[in-house]
Chain A
Amino acid sequence: MRSPGMRRILALAATAPLLVTACLGGGATPSPTAAPTQAPAGPTAAPPSGPTPTPEISGTVTFWNGYAADGDEIKTFTEVVLPAFNKLYPNIKVEHQEIPYDDLRQKLVTGLAGGTLPDVLRADIIWVPEFADQGALLALDTEMQDFQQLADATFPGPLSTNQWKGHYYGLPLDTNTRVMFYNDKVLADAGVTALPTTVEAFEALAAQVQARLGKKVYAYAEGGTGAWSVLPWIWSFGGGVTNADLTSADGVLNGPGTVAAVTKLKEWLDKGYLSPSILGGGVATSEQFGGGTTASILEGPWMPTIFEKQFPDLTFRYATVPAGPGGSASVVGGEDIVVFKSTPNKDAALAFTRFMLSEEAQRAMGKIGQMPVLKSLSGDSELPDYYPVFQKQLETARARTPSPAWPKIDEAISNAVLKALRGDTPVQDALDEATKIVDRLLAGG
């Protein structure tokens, strides 16, 4: 197999990563940190830090995050959280970079290739299995002696998103889920007073909104058919993506619960209860909601502060997802905090990670819409008054399939639901097709 020609290609190929770095990174300069991605990192590499942090730790920690520039996230992080951290660790300098969510993944991909990764990352929970599978992350359960203690203080749902093949590669940092937002004015105009708690009641609301307000006002708006958009309905109807041990989608993704959910969404779309924006090419759901052309949307806890600025006159109420045969289920979102193996300053990186899970840091970020992951902060009086409904929803909310192939699984679900809603393919056939794709992806193909 290994001919001399092949060896020459290999030799040449070995130089390729450097070059691709130059191309991908644009201005990326080769740095001495280029190699450590491959460096074996184990518990023996440095003495593990004890449960009580040592203030003598020094160095620089780079921290990439997607904190939003338009809200108060960056402001709170830099003006409250960092100064508090530096009081404990005066000799650790945190170099933080706020990278918009859409660019962050791209920048990480570039960083993986070029060895220009940060030390610590605020990672979307769905990225952790992928980066762990690439071998880029430190297994925190072996690196931190106090890991169990830290983990036990967090909610199990968000914590589980850090698990990959028997190890924990991060700790939860913030959590969220989607709940129903109901526009007060639309409901008042339609003569609705009570918020629906079941799918049947929601359907009755939709009929009433249409009867009173006509076809220009929808009962519900969604921005697409991806998993984040449609899973709350699929789960609430008793459907899902895979079986419990994540080995197969057969009988679940194409099972009766999922079929019922997608069939119902299609019925609502055809009746004009559901805004056509779910098919794409329409107005953003937040604008439909703010503009009063939809009675409800599913949104996350970061949205109230944004609505406050964009639609100062808008008033709305929250409720959990209408319960169906599967109960009221929503989708878990949020971020984990992970440390890259390539970090030259592990002690400082872990100290910072540990601090981000402290009550002090969690409360500060919690005040501005980053829901804390600490059990001890549940019901904290300093946190926003709209959290309880999100916390209630989180009790039954579920995580998306932890798999390095998740982006492809998401695409398969999105395409199947889109085809079914458009009426191009019968619901069952579309989901059967997606199931085949997902099963192949789960098998690693």
Chain B
Amino acid sequence: MIAAAGGRLAPARPRRRLRRLLPIYGLLLPGLVLYGAWAAWPLLNSFILSFTDWSLTKPLTPVGLANYLRALGDPLFWRALSATLGYTVVTVAGQLVLGLGAALLLNRRIPGRSVLRLVYYLPVITSWVIVSLVFTYLYNGQAGALNWLLVDVLHVLDRPVAWLAEPSTALWAIAVLGIWKGIGWTMVVFLAGLQAVSPELYDAAEVDGAGAWARFRHVTLPELRPTTTFLLVVLTIGGLNAFISIFVMSSAATGTVGGPLNSTDVVLTYLWKQSFAQLDLGYGAALSFLLAAVTGLVSLVELRVAREAAR
């Protein structure tokens, strides 16, 4: 960004150029200093840490690529990575579909529209820790509201399920919270996108005899493509980095972060345990860079696919 700005200013004489650039850099400086101190410098150090073996009190020893190689052969890491990807796919899809649905409905002139928009947005501004604990109670296997609803009211199940203690359901129960909490934000971004769609396009489509579905399919969706791409990438990064809800709910329900039986271990909870419970800080650092690499790769693929689809 800075390089590009400098390039455009190139023809000016050096002194004038300096005078023009100085305020720019001056204004950028506080941000850069903070970024350097709290992001770049720790990042660099934890990158270095990832090539070492360090358990806080024992002297730090360089181990080259050993941590990275260990991760590649660590079945629990692969398990955590696949759980991370599964969680991401489910939550991103859920937020996109339900967020778009909410946006379409609340884009119409219906009574109580503002109130409904507020209601849908409320989960976004609640605290992760608090809603995680609330959902933990809802999912309780002996006294939870969900079991009461499914067993005693609707009779869908014949006996209660400890949703967060069943290895087959725990991660998906947590994903439901992720979707619920994200719909509002996705909806707001989609609403902004919908309002940018020219009404003339709909008029023209209607004149051509397009029904509601055809208008949605051929006008709304293509016009929302940039919005969708943006959401896809941002939500994916969020999904790959899910931590608080999983940390809070798995430990509250099973006493173990990532429990039961590692079924809710995502890369972040796994590396948290390696770093701060097992004090294996070098390995934890290596895992964090592997996750960063995966996140970058997935985002790139998504952008590329979206660009191809736009052609």
Surface stretch bound by A, among B11-19, B250-258, B297-305: B250-258
* Interchain CB contact under 8 A, A281 and B164: yes
B276 contact set on A, CB distance < 8 A: 106, 109
* Interchain CB contact under 8 A, A134 and B141: no
1/0 per residue, CB under 8 A from B, across A17-42: the answer is 10110110000000000000100000
Asked if A96 lies at the interface with its beta carbon under 8 angstroms from chain B, I say no
Asked if A156 lies at the interface with its beta carbon under 8 angstroms from chain B, I say no
* Interchain CB contact under 8 A, A136 and B57: yes
CA distance A37 to B57 in the complex (A): 8
Question: Within the complex, what minimum Cβ distance (angstroms) separates B84 from chain A?
Answer: 20
Asked if A15 lies at the interface with its beta carbon under 8 angstroms from chain B, I say yes
* Interchain CB contact under 8 A, A13 and B163: no
* Interchain CB contact under 8 A, B49 and A20: yes
* Interchain CB contact under 8 A, B57 and A112: yes
CA distance A17 to B139 in the complex (A): 41
A109 contact set on B, CB distance < 8 A: 56, 276, 279
Surface stretch bound by A, among B40-48, B174-182, B195-203, B207-215: B40-48
Name the one of B41, B57, B62, B260 contacting A10, with C-beta atoms under 8 angstroms. Answer: B62
* Interchain CB contact under 8 A, B165 and A282: yes
Asked if A277 lies at the interface with its beta carbon under 8 angstroms from chain B, I say yes
Name the one of A10, A134, A280, A408 contacting B164, with C-beta atoms under 8 angstroms. Answer: A280
Surface stretch bound by B, among A47-55, A175-183, A239-247, A411-419: A411-419
* Interchain CB contact under 8 A, A16 and B140: no
**Number of residue pairs A-B, CB distance < 8 angstroms:** 102
B49 contact set on A, CB distance < 8 A: 13, 16, 20
B164 contact set on A, CB distance < 8 A: 280-281
* Interchain CB contact under 8 A, A9 and B162: no
We find that the number of chain B residues with CB closer than 8 angstroms to chain A is 39
* Interchain CB contact under 8 A, B45 and A276: no
- Please name the residue on chain A nearest to B64 by beta carbon: A6
* Interchain CB contact under 8 A, A9 and B254: no
Name the one of B57, B165, B261 contacting A281, with C-beta atoms under 8 angstroms. Answer: B165
Asked if A314 lies at the interface with its beta carbon under 8 angstroms from chain B, I say no
* Interchain CB contact under 8 A, A134 and B253: no
1/0 per residue, CB under 8 A from A, across B38-80: the answer is 0001100110110110111110101000000000000000000
* Interchain CB contact under 8 A, B141 and A282: yes
27 contacts between A and B (CB under 8 A): A13-B49, A16-B54, A19-B41, A20-B45, A22-B42, A109-B56, A224-B255, A226-B255, A276-B142, A277-B142, A279-B141, A279-B165, A280-B162, A280-B164, A280-B255, A280-B259, A281-B140, A281-B162, A281-B163, A281-B165, A281-B166, A281-B253, A281-B254, A281-B260, A282-B140, A411-B256, A418-B261
**New A-B pairs, 16, CB < 8 Å, besides A12-B45, A106-B276:** A16-B49, A16-B60, A20-B49, A109-B276, A224-B254, A226-B255, A276-B142, A279-B165, A279-B260, A281-B162, A281-B163, A281-B254, A281-B260, A282-B142, A283-B140, A407-B277
For the complex of A and B, the 8 pairs showing the least CB-CB separation, nearest first, are: A281-B165, A281-B162, A280-B165, A280-B254, A134-B57, A281-B141, A282-B142, A281-B253
